[in-house]
């Protein structure tokens, strides 16, 4: 089955670990493995599950050592990427300051690359997904929280302290931008307008049925997304903006408001040429992006 050396990609979140194999052209081949993380369990148990997920993908796909050029891991952060450590991570509280990169490298003997999950996902989209062929890519992930990454010439921009793209904590209205641009932000806006607490999925369903409060919720959300994007767009002048994460599934509901506001907030020249698109890699984006971290040579 294996005709060229592949990378193993591992997407590690607080809820699940998903692992798969990816060719140097971004093609997913063979069978994947998904297991619960148990994010609050003892460190040793979580590490063993990570090992198990990788071992299982090697086993079920009958990979030989010479088939594998490396392992890439996209991990919920914050991380010390340079030293391959998880820092004080709210989604993996028992893994604080654990040298995960060295542990995986020692266990399997392959080169290992590690970055935060948002960086990895946007890197995969930039190289093999919605941003393929673009040299200057800005990406955001809209889920429980807000992730952001900048990819220049197929490399993630890390910054002096590895925190480039961490716009979630930037100020907005009476809080920070993540309070508004995230799944919980959608719920918060709806509660403010209606007095009711329901999920973002339910708010999307109501909006599609014509509910005016739900529709106004997505309009306000779109304006907040435009505000978050405008500073980054004006700073780096990307060719394309990629929007991923679970909330991107409702992109048609907030795109008109977001686009209208962006036309006012960003410089006139990029406003005419900038492309804003939904991520393409779907449920496999996490481990595909992790595999993109591995040197293709």
Across residues 284-296, what is the average pLDDT? 92
Tell me the average pLDDT across 206-219.
98
Over range 76-88, report the average pLDDT. 93
What is the rounded average pLDDT for all residues in the chain?
Answer: 94
Tell me how far apart the alpha carbons of residues 256 and 29 are, in angstroms, rounded to a whole number. 37
Q: With 90 as the cut, is the pLDDT of residue 2 above it?
A: no
Which of the pair, 60 or 1, is modelled with greater confidence?
A: 60
Say if residue 292's pLDDT is above 70.
yes
Per-residue pLDDT averaged across 144-154, rounded?
92
pLDDT band at 90 (very low <50, low <70, confident <90, very high): confident
CA pair distance 47, 263, nearest whole angstrom: 47
State whether residue 19 is helix, strand or coil.
strand
Query: How much is the pLDDT for 112?
Result: 97
Res 1 pLDDT > 60: no
Mean pLDDT of 116-125: 94
Instruction: Note the helical H segments in the chain.
Output: 43-60, 100-108, 117-128, 183-194, 200-208, 212-236, 251-265, 268-273, 285-292
pLDDT level of residue 179 (50, 70, 90 thresholds): very high
Residue 93: pLDDT above 60?
yes
Mean pLDDT of 139-143: 94
Q: List b or e across 64-97, with b for residues whose CB sees 16 or more CB atoms inside 10 angstroms.
A: eeebbbbbbbbbbbbbbbeebbbeebebbebbee
pLDDT at 295: 81
Contacts of 118 (CB under 8 A, 6+ apart): 139, 141, 147, 148, 149, 165
Q: What pLDDT was estimated at residue 95?
A: 96
Residue ranges and CATH numbers for the domains of the chain are 6-122+284-292 (3.30.420.40), 134-279 (3.30.420.40)
pLDDT-based confidence at residue 296 (cuts at 50, 70, 90): low
| Confidence category of residue 102, pLDDT binned at 50, 70, 90 | very high
176 three-state secondary structure: strand
Model confidence at 127: pLDDT above 90: yes
Is the pLDDT at 213 greater than 70, yes or no? yes
The structure tokens listed for 181 are 């641009």
What is each CA distance from 135 to 150, 271, 279, in whole angstroms? 10, 18, 16
Q: What is the mean pLDDT of residues 152-157?
A: 94
Tokens of 73: 């891991």
- Report the percent of the chain where pLDDT is more than 90: 91
pLDDT of amino acid 160:
95
> What pTM does this model have?
0.92
């Amino acid at each position: 089955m294996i005709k060229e050396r592949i990378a193993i990609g591992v997407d590690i979140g607080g809820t699940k670990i998903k692992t798969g194999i990816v060719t140097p052209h971004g093609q997913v081949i063979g069978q994947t493995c998904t297991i619960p993380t148990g994010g609050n369990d003892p460190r040793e148990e979580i590490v063993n599950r990570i090992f198990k997920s990788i071992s299982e993908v090697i086993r079920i796909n009958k990979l030989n050592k010479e088939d594998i050029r490396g392992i890439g891991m996209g991990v919920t952060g914050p991380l010390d990427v340079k030293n391959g450590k998880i820092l004080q991570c709210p989604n993996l509280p028992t893994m604080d300051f654990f040298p995960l990169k060295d542990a995986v490298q020692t266990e399997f003997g392959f080169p290992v690359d590690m970055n935060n999950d948002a960086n990895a996902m946007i890197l995969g989209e930039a190289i093999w997904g919605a941003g393929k062929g673009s040299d200057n890519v800005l990406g955001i992930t809209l889920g429980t929280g807000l992730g952001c990454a900048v990819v220049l010439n197929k490399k993630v921009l890390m910054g002096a302290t590895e925190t480039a793209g961490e716009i979630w904590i930037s100020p907005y209205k009476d809080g920070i931008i993540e309070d508004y641009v995230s799944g919980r932000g959608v719920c918060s806006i709806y509660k403010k307008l209606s007095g009711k607490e329901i999920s973002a999925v339910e708010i999307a369903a109501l909006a599609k049925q014509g509910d005016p409060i739900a529709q106004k919720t997505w309009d306000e959300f779109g304006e907040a997304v435009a505000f978050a994007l405008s500073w980054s767009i004006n700073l780096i002048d990307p060719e394309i903006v990629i929007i991923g994460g679970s909330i991107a599934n409702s992109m048609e509901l907030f795109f008109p408001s977001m686009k209208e506001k962006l036309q006012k907030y960003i410089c006139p020249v990029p406003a005419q040429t900038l492309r804003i698109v939904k991520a393409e890699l779907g449920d496999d984006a996490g481990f595909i992006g992790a595999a993109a971290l591995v040197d293709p040579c």
